[in-house]
């Protein structure tokens, strides 16, 4: 991936519009990072905010995440969103159709066995098996970062070009090559209700850069959460700022939210 910035992202943001199509990374964007992937849960405020946004936009809201679709659904109980999981390897459309890109996933079996030995030696490392990809988290042991990357790079070399290494915030992942979040956004943008809208993508990590690039090409709004070199054109400081921008600075969302509260009462 070519690196990344000529001009720093601007902090000013227009108010959200119901005419846009919204794409969100999850960890570090809508929810705070946690020591373990399983420690992340969607709170009531987030579920309400996403539900109201989906209603206001006619359903043009999707989560684009490295997590599996099953894990995304766990974080959003009772809300069946369009989602792209495992960096776009699997995707659920607005209509509910599940689409998976075919890879020889049985090749990962040898990598699983090797990583089980790694975890036995360093139990503070966390292996997240997503079915179509494997992520090795070193958030609890950052001093093992170099070791974790060496392990995954060696496994990738053994598997050949079908799989590749994807880095992230204190995680390194072995995933099918040829799929990324940008490609997932393009696929959604060819479908109802996203087609013809201005896309917005908010993310915080290097895994989101392809998504920023695609959204920029559409003339959309790319928003980086936190600092660091990026292709995003705008910036928000943290998860709380993302939620504040969506909820408090948006007249149409405020009206929708008030209506939802009235119905519940």
Calculate the CA 45 to chain-centre distance: 19
pLDDT at 4 over 70: no
Q: Is residue 195 part of a domain?
A: yes
What pLDDT score was predicted for residue 163?
93
Looking at residue 195, what is its pLDDT? 98
For residue 7, tell me if it sits in a domain.
no
* Gap between the Cα atoms of 225 and 51, Å rounded: 21
What is the distance between the alpha carbons of residues 185 and 167, in angstroms, rounded to a whole number? 20
State whether 27 and 83 are in the same domain: yes
Tokens of 238: 């943290």
Place of tokens 């720093």: 8
Q: Please check whether residue 184 is in contact with residue 64, taking contact to mean a CB–CB distance below 8 angstroms.
A: yes
Average pLDDT, the chain: 90
DSSP state of 29: T
What was the pLDDT predicted at 128? 94
127 and 94 in a single domain? The answer is no
Say yes or no to pLDDT of 159 above 70: yes
Q: Identify the H or E element spanning 206.
A: none
Higher pLDDT, 186 or 35: 186
Same domain, 122 and 233: no
Cβ contact 180:210 at 8 Å: yes
160 and 122 belong to one structural domain: yes
Instruction: Give the pLDDT of residue 72.
Output: 96
- Please, is 139 exposed, middle or buried when counting C-beta atoms within 10 Å of its C-beta (0-12, 13-18, 19+)? middle
Matching residue, tokens 């090409």: 217
What CATH number does residue 134 fall under?
3.30.70.1020
Indicate the pLDDT class of residue 206, thresholds 50, 70 and 90.
Answer: very high
Q: Is the pLDDT of residue 35 over 80?
A: yes
Q: Which residue has the tokens 């009206």?
A: 255
> Above 60 in pLDDT, residue 262?
no
Domain end residue (candidates: 127, 161, 176):
176
pLDDT tens sequence across 101-121: 888 888 899 999 999 999 999
Res 7 pLDDT > 70: no
Least confidently predicted of 35-49, 79-93, 232-246: 35-49
What pLDDT is recorded for position 38? 85
Q: Are 260 and 186 part of one and the same domain?
A: yes
- The per-residue pLDDT for 101 is 85
At residue 254, the pLDDT reads 58
* Average pLDDT of the residues in 200-222: 97
Given a contact cutoff of 8 angstroms between Cβ atoms, the answer to whether 182 and 218 are in contact is: no
CA–CA separation, 82 and 63 (whole Å): 7
Which residues are part of the catalytic machinery?
Answer: 25
Range of weakest confidence among 1-5, 81-85, 223-227, 248-252: 1-5
Quick check: pTM over 0.85? yes
The per-residue pLDDT for 96 is: 96
Task: Report the CATH number that the domain containing residue 235 is assigned in CATH.
Answer: 3.40.50.1000
- How far, in Å, CA of 211 to CA of 11, rounded? 19
Domain count, the chain: 2
Token pair 């070791």 is at which residue? 147
What backbone phi and psi angles, to 5 degrees, belong to 163? -120, 160
Long-range contacts of 32-37 (CB under 8 A, 24+ apart): 32/239, 33/139, 33/169, 35/139, 35/140, 36/126, 36/137, 36/139, 36/140, 37/67, 37/71, 37/126, 37/128, 37/135, 37/137
Domain encompassing residue 85: 20-101+179-264
Residue pair 100/79 in contact (Cβ under 8 Å)? The answer is no
pLDDT tens track for 217-236:
999 999 999 999 999 999 99
Given a cut of 80, whether residue 257 has pLDDT beyond it is no
Instruction: For 112-152, write each residue's pLDDT tens digit.
Output: 999 999 999 999 999 999 999 999 999 999 999 999 999 99
User: Which of the two residues, 225 and 41, has the higher pLDDT score?
Assistant: 225
């Amino acid at each position: 991936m070519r690196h990344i910035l000529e001009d720093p992202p601007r902090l000013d943001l227009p108010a959200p519009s119901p005419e846009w199509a919204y794409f969100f990374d999850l960890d570090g964007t809508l929810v705070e990072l946690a020591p373990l992937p399983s420690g992340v849960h969607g709170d009531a405020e987030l579920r309400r905010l996403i539900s109201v946004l989906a209603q206001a936009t006619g359903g043009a809201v999707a989560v684009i995440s490295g997590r599996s679709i099953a894990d995304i659904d766990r974080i959003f109980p009772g809300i069946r969103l369009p989602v792209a999981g495992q960096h776009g390897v699997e995707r659920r459309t607005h209509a509910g159709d599940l689409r998976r890109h075919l890879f020889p996933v049985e090749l990962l079996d040898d990598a699983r066995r090797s990583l089980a030995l790694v975890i036995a030696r360093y139990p503070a490392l966390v292996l997240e098996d997503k079915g179509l990809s494997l992520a090795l988290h070193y958030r609890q042991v950052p001093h093992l970062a170099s070791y974790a990357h060496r392990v995954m790079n060696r496994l990738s070399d053994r598997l050949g070009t079908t799989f590749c290494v994807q880095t992230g915030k204190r995680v390194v992942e072995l995933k099918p090559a040829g799929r990324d979040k940008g490609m997932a956004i393009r696929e959604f943008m060819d479908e109802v209700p996203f087609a013809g809208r201005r896309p917005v993508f908010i993310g915080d990590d290097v895994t989101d850069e392809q998504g920023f690039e695609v959204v920029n090409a559409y003339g959309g709004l790319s928003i980086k959460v936190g600092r660091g070199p990026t292709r995003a054109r705008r910036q928000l400081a943290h998860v709380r700022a993302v939620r504040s921008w969506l909820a408090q600075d948006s007249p149409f969302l405020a009206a929708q939210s008030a209506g939802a509260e009235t119905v519940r009462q």
